[in-house]
Structure 1
Amino acid sequence: MGRELLNFKMFLSVLFAFTVGYAIITYGRLVREEIGRYDRALSERVQVIERVKAKPITVKGLYLTASSAASSRTRQRIIELIKETELNSVIIDIKDYTGNILYDSDLDLVNQLDTERVVMREVKEIINEFHNADIYVVARQTVFQDPALAQAQPEWAITTEGGGLWRDYKGLSWVDPTKPEVWQYNFAVAREASKLGFDEINFDYVRFPSDGNIRTAVYANLEGSKAETMRKFFKTLDESLQRSRVYTSLDLFGMVLESGDFDLNIGQTLAVALDTVDYICPMTYPSHYPTGHLGLANPADHPYIVVSNGLKKSQTAFAKAERTQLRPWVQAFNLGAVYDGPKIRAQITAIEEADRTSGWMLWNASNNYDSRGLLPDEHAAALRSDVTT
């Protein structure tokens, strides 16, 4: 009897072990199948929401600070202006002259260095609101003028011969254009902006400093000319964003259109930038040209002549370009003259008459815009015509 009981207990133990083992194997199979279904569903969802590059358009845009973009009231005012006129785009700061990242970044380095100042808390919703109104959205990113990064990471900054931070005449510190770490930091920000939904990244301050005591500025790795450094930067920028579904553009000094191979001592020439981005955006503000330019006592009083001349002189360089087009900035602020509707329109006319141009962008640092100088939207005009007939 004792042996039989022992055998029965052993049988139960074996049966229990078998049952548990079978249950574990079966459960594991079910879990793997469920994970597989989840992965397939997730894969299908990712494919549905995968970022799609916007169709190319002739941009007719205006610049907005992050504060303006974050304001619901301002957004509505701008959207209404765009609906009523030929405008179709906005250019929004994501990193401005302070160097701060102006949205809530998920980049580890940004958070480690504390180089963000969140102004646009709901940046995706802001982008979506403009997209829902059929508005093309450009992210403006300053690069080498960057006090926030220079102070957080002094070894990446332009320094003085004494080792301190070098500053321009406005007291702003810059990061070193010869430092690969600075390049990669900015590329990472641009890639994140792409993933947020921006259609284009516009890079400003892509140059060496133009003012301040330049002779005391010390660069870590300046080999060859400043223009050669910028050539390498532009090329690496292009390579870094190849897989991002965004267009790219560079802001250059307006005088670059006329300076040929001379880099203005800031590293900017058309030759080093062409075909590394989709658009070159020269800042052809008439008020920024010196007295006597083209024999004019006050170039700001002659916007058509100044802008047209620069664009014509750029054509020799652009004749060699296969990809890059011109999209100038338009002065929409009072400096040197009152910039009313006719002066704004004169610049636009000069741009639209020129070869190799594709659109334009209005600049007013205070974001004070109205319809002066702008044509009415064709659809809006048609609707108004239907109402009156």
Structure 2
Amino acid sequence: MRLRSIRRRRSTLLAIGAVVILVLAALVFVFGRSRPSAAGADARPPRLELAPTAAATSYRDPVTVRGKAIGAKQVSVGDRSVQPAKDGSFEIQLPHAPLDTTVVATGAAGDHVTIPLKVEVALPRIRAVHVTAYAWAYDPMRDAVLDMAREGRIDTVELDIKDEDGMVGYDSQVPLARESGAATTIYDAPGALKQLHDMGIKVVGRIVAFRDPTLAGWAWHNGHPDWVIQNPSGQPYSSGYGAIAFTNFASPEIRSYNRDLAVEAARLGFDGVMYDYIRRPDGNLTGMQFPGLAESPSDSIANFLRDCREPVHDAGASLSAAVFGIAATRPDEIAQDIPSMARYADFLAPMLYPSHWHTGEYDVANPNAQPYDIVFRSLQDFRARTAGTNAQIIPWLQDFSLGVAYGDAEVRAQIDATYAAGYNGFFLWNPAVSYHPGALAPN
């Protein structure tokens, strides 16, 4: 009897336990479906939407990024972060147009959503003339250029920062410019920039990059032979530009020097920086050595632009490069690969001087006497080589006489050809800084 009683109690307890388990399971099922846990809600990633961002006209323009980040506790662009409003809306102020960056929305559980942010910088039209440091310092030459600006014939001045001799026209504070004796006081850069900006004129600073006899000579005689392009016997490479004229574009110190000058100029207020002689010397490669070069000369040159782009943009200026006209079809002759360079430049400035083309080039019988034809046809190749990039083309045109007398008509023909090819800007080159205003229509 006692054993039968124990068995009955055990069965009763088991039945009660089973009922309790079923009730608890039902409660979990019901409440688990109808009331998700806070942790489960937080685990859902935020939903990020960006509003269209207005194009900037300068790398100095502030940029406002707006959008909605539903379910995010923080939205970040670079080192700038904000907390979204209750409805998810947010607004982030950036001090200048970024290069290529992202917007990141972070949820409570640490999960995040990322969207690329690309702010278009639509640079204003450029109609410019070249001005050397000495020309700017000489009243009659400077006044002639300023008269063209007042009359609306130009909207930009290209002012030399470092010239073909390697001399920096103003009192640069870049240490190597001072140590090598390159820094001068030919003109007052802040004063020049203020005068031109007060007139509404933009300023593009030209840096002659790797043709630099001042630094090359100093480096060779001060224990830095690897900063200089050499011949196979280990002596300085001699060319038509001089016995020690070209610095080594593969040298980290040479690259840093030219980058530092560009950043300094941008911080001073130059609207743009253009590298000239951003190439190897023309001639047979077998006669040249580039200490430390670990890639092709063309790749090294393009990657120099890549390395300069962000620092120069961050300092507020656009970045461009002057290139040979022949580079569109014969890039290896001077290590200027146009598609590669175009990936890292705001614009390329091909030197299309009619006097520099060979007879019959682009099926033009006499390029120097047919300025319209040679400029128009050569621009077609530059259009093709820069397709798929964001780089603009703003050509250098000829306003000097070499073999054929050039006046208003010849200069105007090149400008007309540029416009007909679909481009609306240009730089005029005259080494003597003497131009034909009559070729330039007032705007």
Same fold (TM over 0.5): yes
**5+ residue gaps, structure 2:** 1-94, 99-120
Aligned residues: 321
Correspondence list, 1:90-105, <5 A: 90-105=157-172
2:228 to 157, 172, 190: 157
**AA partner of residue 253 (structure 2):** E
Correspondence list, 1:1-389, <5 A: 56-120=123-187, 122-154=188-220, 155=225, 156-171=227-242, 173-211=245-283, 214-257=285-328, 259=329, 262-321=330-389, 323-355=390-422, 357-377=423-443
How many Å apart are 1:242 and its aligned residue?
A: 3.4
The secondary structure found in structure 1 opposite 2:427 is strand
Higher mean Cα deviation, 101-110 or 283-292? 101-110
How many Å apart are 1:302 and its aligned residue?
A: 0.6
In 2, the alpha carbon distance for the partners of 1:170 and 1:189 equals 22
Give identity over the alignment, percent. 29
In 2, the alpha carbon distance for the partners of 1:185 and 1:237 equals 11
1:227-270 per-position Cα deviation (integer Å, ceiling 9, x unaligned):
1111221211213323110111100001223x1xx423211121
**5+ residue gaps, structure 1:** 1-49, 378-389
How many Å apart are 1:51 and its aligned residue?
A: 9.6
In 1, the alpha carbon distance for the partners of 2:153 and 2:147 equals 12
Q: 1:311 to 1:163 in 2, by over 3 A?
A: same
How many Å apart are 1:153 and its aligned residue?
A: 1.2
1:75-129 per-position Cα deviation (integer Å, ceiling 9, x unaligned):
2221112222431111011100111112111122222222223311x22111111
The secondary structure found in structure 2 opposite 1:90 is strand
1:303-343 per-position Cα deviation (integer Å, ceiling 9, x unaligned):
1110111111222222211x210000110000131111111
Tell me, yes or no, if the aligned pair for 2:302 and 2:337 is still in contact at 8 Å.
no
Match of 1:14 in 2: none
**AA partner of residue 442 (structure 2):** P
Tell me, yes or no, if the aligned pair for 1:226 and 1:265 is still in contact at 8 Å.
no
**Alignment TM-score, normalising by the size of structure 1:** 0.78
How many Å apart are 1:55 and its aligned residue?
A: 7.8
Following TM superposition, the consecutive aligned residue runs of length 4 or more in structure 1 with deviations greater than 3 angstroms are: 50-55, 294-297
Relative contact order (C-alpha < 8 Å, sep 6+): which is higher? 1
In 1, the alpha carbon distance for the partners of 2:383 and 2:175 equals 43
Tell me, yes or no, if the aligned pair for 1:298 and 1:336 is still in contact at 8 Å.
no
Q: 1:176 to 1:230 in 2, by over 3 A?
A: same
In 2, the alpha carbon distance for the partners of 1:293 and 1:336 equals 17
Q: 1:335 to 1:208 in 2, by over 3 A?
A: same
> Which is richer in helix?
1
Computing the radius of gyration from Cα coordinates, the structure with the larger value is 2
In 2, the alpha carbon distance for the partners of 1:351 and 1:280 equals 14
How many Å apart are 1:214 and its aligned residue?
A: 4.9
In 2, the alpha carbon distance for the partners of 1:81 and 1:370 equals 10
Higher mean Cα deviation, 219-228 or 142-151? 219-228
Match of 1:44 in 2: none
The secondary structure found in structure 1 opposite 2:414 is helix
How many Å apart are 1:192 and its aligned residue?
A: 0.8
In 2, the alpha carbon distance for the partners of 1:280 and 1:56 equals 13
The secondary structure found in structure 1 opposite 2:300 is helix
**AA partner of residue 258 (structure 2):** N
> Which is richer in strand?
2
